């Protein structure tokens, strides 16, 4: 399928830019062909244009149609995996380099927004709340570790009594407040990136699903109506990759995640839910994450599924997670419910790599893609321009094939995910 409209979400209803970009027709020559117009592809296009490369982006549907136009809008620091785990997996030096890249990812998001004047409700701060005794107990040490080993001073511990003043969220006994994090309107961020890429001279074709490509000294990329001949290829399809690239598909697993938007809340209620207008997230395995929109709607993400079908009633599916945390919203109307597909990896670190000398990919951001996919675009541009060091800091993180590869990865993953989400439920 191609040329599908944006999913019916609060984001689509408040999109501040209407792009209507023509499908690819006929044959085009370009330096770099990018497949996919989410953050990875759009950021790659911007950074490649800044380096002087001609770029053609092919998008099956619309700009930001994938996870980039549907997500929670949380822009977290660091990596999806915490630093202590990275240190024990990869050693301190590599963990430090990954931490720095994680900070640079957030900075890159902010710089692009500033430089290209992207209107996307950018705000600061994340309050990460913990419910289980073990999680609560580990928070002060985590904070101290980041302060001491990484000299990161924008995070602090919040105890239960201070937390009670900051949010009416129920069931949490401690938190960390990280003022280095940001949050934003994800679709407007994606549309703004596309506008910037176009202004820099990139070509973006919507309604242009890539059916196949062939690498060689030149890459030939085919859609139903046209062909791009390029010196380099970037595959940026993440959770929507399907069977396009079998060499990389087995290292990621597409999973579905769901969100809702309430009706606009009174200023008083909004401040009770999240006093300081930060984003919030919890420490469950299937994470709940939430924030307020500019018009005081609660935008709440919770619940996952692992099949190709979404629940029939997404609003009710997500609402039950909201009410566990905010029972006071029992009478609040839910205006929108939607889902999206993201790619996770087995160890929850992204998978960056080379398919051949002139073909690259990055995906599997495992729920941390707003900053990491943006950074990926920058690093893809660097590696294409011949500077591989920073791309390789990411590419050197070992990623494994899901057991069973693309054919048989589902049963094992579903069993594992259900086990951990059951652990969430029984505490």
Ligand X SMILES: Cc1cc2nc3c(=O)[nH]c(=O)nc-3n(C[C@H](O)[C@H](O)[C@H](O)COP(=O)(O)OP(=O)(O)OC[C@H]3O[C@@H](n4cnc5c(N)ncnc54)[C@H](O)[C@@H]3O)c2cc1C
Tell me: does residue 326 bind ligand X (CB under 6 A): no
Cα gap 271→274, rounded to integer Å: 5
Contacting ligand X within 225-254 (CB under 6 A)? 236-240, 244
Select the span of 196-204, 320-328, 368-376, 399-407 touching ligand X (CB under 6 A). 368-376
| Residue of 50, 191, 37 lying closest to 113 (CA atoms) | 191
Least Cβ distance, residue 248 to ligand X (angstroms): 12
Q: Which region holds residue 352: left if phi is over 0, alpha if psi is between -120 and 50, else beta?
A: beta
Asked if 125 interacts with ligand X (CB under 6 A), we say: no
Looking at the Cβ atoms of 177 and 249, the one nearer to ligand X is: 249
Q: Which is nearer to ligand X, 37 or 273 (CB)?
A: 37
Q: Is 108 near ligand X (CB under 6 A)?
A: no
Rg (CA), the chain: 21
Question: Any idea what DSSP says for residue 285?
Answer: S
Catalogue the E-assigned strands of 25-137: 26-35, 55-58, 74-75, 123-130
404 close to 412: Cβ distance less than 8 angstroms:
yes
What does the alpha-carbon distance between residue 288 and residue 292 come to, in Å, rounded to a whole number? Answer: 14
Question: Helix crossing, 83-90 with 92-115: angle to 10°?
Answer: 130
In whole angstroms, the minimum distance from the beta carbon of 93 to ligand X comes to 25
CB of 342 to ligand X, least distance (A): 4
- Of the candidate residues 209, 231, 348, 390, the single one contacting ligand X (CB under 6 A): 209
Is residue 303 near ligand X by the rule CB under 6 A?
no
Helices (H), 51-119: 83-90, 92-115
Of 289 and 352, nearer to ligand X (C-beta) is 289
Closest CA to 176 of 162, 186, 197: 162
User: Does 71 help bind ligand X (rule: CB under 6 A)?
Assistant: yes
Figure out which of the listed residues 9, 30, 59, 204 binds ligand X, where binding follows CB under 6 A: 59
With beta carbons less than 8 A apart as the criterion, state whether 377 and 200 touch: no
67 near ligand X, rule: CB under 6 A? yes
127 lines the binding site for ligand X (CB under 6 A): no
Residue from 33, 48, 60, 219 binding ligand X (CB under 6 A): 60
Residue closest to 385 by CA, chosen among 50, 42, 29, 98: 50
Task: Select the residue whose beta carbon is closest to ligand X and give its number.
Answer: 369
> Should residue 177 be labelled a site residue for ligand X when binding is judged by CB under 6 A?
no
Instruction: Report the residue from 102, 250, 301, 303 that binds ligand X according to the rule CB under 6 A.
Output: 301
Strands in 199-270 per DSSP E: 203-205, 212-214, 219-222, 226-235, 253-262
- The least CB distance from residue 356 to ligand X, in Å, is 18
In angstroms, the CA 277 to CA 280 distance is: 9
Specify the stretch interacting with ligand X by CB under 6 A; choose among 81-89, 98-106, 138-146, 369-377. Answer: 369-377
Q: Does 210 bind ligand X (CB under 6 A)?
A: yes
- Residues found near ligand X in the complex (CB under 6 A): 35-41, 58-61, 65-68, 70-74, 209-210, 236-240, 244, 257, 259, 289, 301, 340-342, 363, 365, 367-371, 373
């Amino acid at each position: 399928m191609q040329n599908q409209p944006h999913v019916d979400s609060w984001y689509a209803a408040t999109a501040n830019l209407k792009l209507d970009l023509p499908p690819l027709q006929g044959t085009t020559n370009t330096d770099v062909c990018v497949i996919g117009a989410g953050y990875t592809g759009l950021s790659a296009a911007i950074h490649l244009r800044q380096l002087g490369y001609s770029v053609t982006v092919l998008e099956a549907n619309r700009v930001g149609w994938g996870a980039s136009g549907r997500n929670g809008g949380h822009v977290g620091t660091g990596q999806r995996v915490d630093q202590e785990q990275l240190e024990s997996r990869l050693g301190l030096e590599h963990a430090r380099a990954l931490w720095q890249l994680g900070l640079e990812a957030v900075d890159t998001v902010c710089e692009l927004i500033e430089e290209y004047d992207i209107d996307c409700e950018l705000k600061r701060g994340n309050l990460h709340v913990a419910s289980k005794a073990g999680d609560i107990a580990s928070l002060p040490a985590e904070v101290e570790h980041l302060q001491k080993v990484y000299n990161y001073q924008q995070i602090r511990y919040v105890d239960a009594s201070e937390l009670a003043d900051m949010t009416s969220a129920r069931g949490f006994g401690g938190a960390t407040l990280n003022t280095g994090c940001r949050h934003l309107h994800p679709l407007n961020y994606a549309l703004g990136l596309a506008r910037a890429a176009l202004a820099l001279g990139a070509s973006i074709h919507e309604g242009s699903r890539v059916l196949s490509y062939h690498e060689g000294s030149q890459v030939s990329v085919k859609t139903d109506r046209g062909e791009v001949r390029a010196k380099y290829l970037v595959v940026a399809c993440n959770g929507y990759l399907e069977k396009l690239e079998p060499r990389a598909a087995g290292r990621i697993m597409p999973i579905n995640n769901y969100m809702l938007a309430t009706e606009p809340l009174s200023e008083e209620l909004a401040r009770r839910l999240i006093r300081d207008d930060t984003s919030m997230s919890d420490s469950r395995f299937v994470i709940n994450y939430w924030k307020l929109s500019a018009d005081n709607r609660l935008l709440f993400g919770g619940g996952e599924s692992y099949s190709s079908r979404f629940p029939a009633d997404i609003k009710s599916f997500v609402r039950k997670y909201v009410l566990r945390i905010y029972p006071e919203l029992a009478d609040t109307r839910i205006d929108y419910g939607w889902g999206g597909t993201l790619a996770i990896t087995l160890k929850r670190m992204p998978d960056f790599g080379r398919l051949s000398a002139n073909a690259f990919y990055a995906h599997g951001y495992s729920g941390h893609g707003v900053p990491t996919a943006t950074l990926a675009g920058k690093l893809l541009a660097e590696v294409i321009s011949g500077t591989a060091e920073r791309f390789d800091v990411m590419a050197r993180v070992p990623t494994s094939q899901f057991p069973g590869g693309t054919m048989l990865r589902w049963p094992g993953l579903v069993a594992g995910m259900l086990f951990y989400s059951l652990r969430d439920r029984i505490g």
